[in-house]
Structure 1
Amino acid sequence: MAEPGIHFLDAHGPEGVRLYAIGDVHGRLDLLAAMHQRIRAEIEQDAPADWRVIHLGDYVDRGPDSKGVIDFLIEARERDPRHLMLAGNHDIGFLDFLKTPDPEGLFIRFGGIQTAQSYGVAINEGTSVWFGKAEAAVRKGHQALVEAVPQSHIDFLRSLPYSVTLGDFFFCHAGIRPGIPLDRQNPQDLIWIREVFHNYTGLYPKIVVHGHTPVPEAEVMANRVNVDTLAWHSGMLSALVVDGSDKRILTMTIKEA
């Protein structure tokens, strides 16, 4: 028998625990640091009994400082384990590239050039597969990147879970497959799914809080909340804040210099 669904308006966070769920960062350390500063100020001012800050994945690629973002998140988690980080498809794509340099893979095609640059490594994106040059250029860049990426960053990326449940909310990077119990979701769906999830109008057992698919402003639906506001390009990082039955969207805006 299927679990009864819950509507966003009726959803509650865990008793006494304020939640912050931050959307896709994509190398924008400036926005991430500013969001953390804002959250820290709120927590100090409001003094909730407890709190969690959930990061919904995609820390790397496209933006200017993927290395700095990972350093920041590692330090935040070591300082206080109530900072939770989930895996995004770009984070897994980074690991995949470090293992196997694919010139046609996610990393090279969708922002990994900028990630490599943040580690001081140049990968020539102007070469073309059809002229047989891209593979050699990517192999060369791959070797330099393997040497440049600290083991602590690889360990961090490998440690990332695909989802977490808190109160009436289920947090993941991309979404879930309708009709599949939350504890049986395919990890690939949790970091990649789009249309079948977005188009589903029924209620889920939990409100799904996700990123992955950029929207101009945070999207609050009856069954899900999307907080990916294309931070790397728009200069706006968004988060869902849940405190008991109270829910709100928090945004941080900085235009890239």
Structure 2
Amino acid sequence: MAPPLVPAENFAKAESFIRDAAKEGCNLAVLPEYHLTSWVPEEPNFKESCAHSASYLKKYQQLAKELNICIVPGTIVELEGESLHNIAYFISSNGEVLGRYQKKNLWHPERRHLVSSAQQPHEAFDTPLGRVGLLICWDIAFPEAFRELISDGAQIICVPTFWSMKDVSDEGYALNPDGEALFLNSTVVSRAFENTCAVVFVNAGGPPEKGEKTSFAGLSQVSVPHIGSLGKMGRSEGMSIVDLDMDVLRIAEDNYKVREDMKGEGWHYAYTQIRDGSKL
């Protein structure tokens, strides 16, 4: 959980986690959405804090190069003119930014404050870990987003998230207080199976001293086909280290042939295809 509007304090905490991960030999560290500022758009200083938070991208680039580790620094809310953009980056282990993605599918209350990437295509990119795609939070509810990244060759899809147990109405919450956990656990695993990819889902957790008694959903996990969730956390803030065997993705594709079908001439959903470098 990121205390609101204190990016320096939250960066220091994130840096500590990343240094610990690097000591354990990790190749990739992923942080939650809004980890620097939290999501408090009604606060008077929110825009000002976001303007300062953009400078932390360079700090993460320096950290990645120093520790020889790839980093997805959650999301960084950037102020462009009077517009706020929620951005995820992939930073390589040499400090280079290899991927940038602006959140497309905004959660309903976010639409009063953020600008969507709208019609910009979802694009994957090459990294030292394979071909990677980026999505953010509510994007996970849209299979089309995954399909577009898979059609562009993504093997790993990182999803920084800020999702609570009470992101629904009182009426919806009353139907099932654990409904959002059910949504996340079901969807993250389904996306991995149906796309023969690894889904690195990293959600904000609550204060460790509160344990499961928090409105934060947490449940960060890496999901892969055949196996399901790896290293799944509870609802408290913390760090989980996962070994990802990329050969699992090969086995899944050998079995399910999702990517093979998507490239075929008879594929029904032609809008997700990429042939000869051109989308049809």
Same fold (TM over 0.5): no
TM-score, L = length of structure 1? 0.38
Larger relative contact order, structure 1 or 2 (CA cutoff 8 Å, min sep 6) = 1
